[in-house]
Amino acid sequence: MTLQQTRSILETRIAVAAKSLEEHNEILGLDAAMNYINQRLLYRLRDITICDILEIHKRVLEHVNPVEGGQFRRTQVYVGGQIPPGPSEIQKLMTQFLEWLNFEDALELHYVR
């Protein structure tokens, strides 16, 4: 969806014609996740945790797939020709990611990086 359509959905909660229910729900989930980040994590002084990441994930998926939201996946997925890490590797990789994310040098990076 365009930025204008996304803004319209978030401001009016009225559906955009010719767009799927899933597209609308994805926008609502991303908005919920961004609200959580802005209200709970943005100015917090302590480290980001796995529970924080799973809470963001839960909010992103709450309108699309509430059963899977907020937990690590238990099945292998495929993205185009790529094979992401398997379910047994995710917790370890997330722990490594959070160690990097919470490291002082990472906090000084531009947010896009």
Question: Residues 15-55: pLDDT tens digits?
Answer: 999 999 999 999 999 999 999 999 999 888 899 999 999 99
5 in the same domain as 37: yes
33 in the same domain as 63: yes
For the entire predicted model, the pTM comes to 0.85
96 in the same domain as 59: no
41 in the same domain as 59: yes
Once rounded to an integer, what is the mean pLDDT over residues 79-91? 96
Judged by average pLDDT, the poorest of 42-51, 78-87, 101-110 is 101-110
Once rounded to an integer, what is the mean pLDDT over residues 56-82? 95
Reading the block at residue 97, the tokens are 């990611």
48 in the same domain as 27: yes
- 10-40 in b/e form (b: 16+ CB < 10 A) is eeeeeebeeeeeebbebbbbbbbbeebeeee
Contact 32, 62 (CB under 8 A): yes
Report how far residue 24's alpha carbon sits from residue 9's, in angstroms, rounded to the nearest whole number: 8
**Residues 62, 68, 69, 75: is their CA dihedral positive or negative?**
negative
Range of the domain at 58: 1-71
Contact 16, 8 (CB under 8 A): yes
Taking CA atoms, 51 is separated from 40, 47, 67, 73, 77, in Å, by 12, 11, 17, 15, 22
Once rounded to an integer, what is the mean pLDDT over residues 59-74? 95
For residue 98, pLDDT over 90 is answered with yes
Q: What is the pLDDT at residue 91?
A: 96
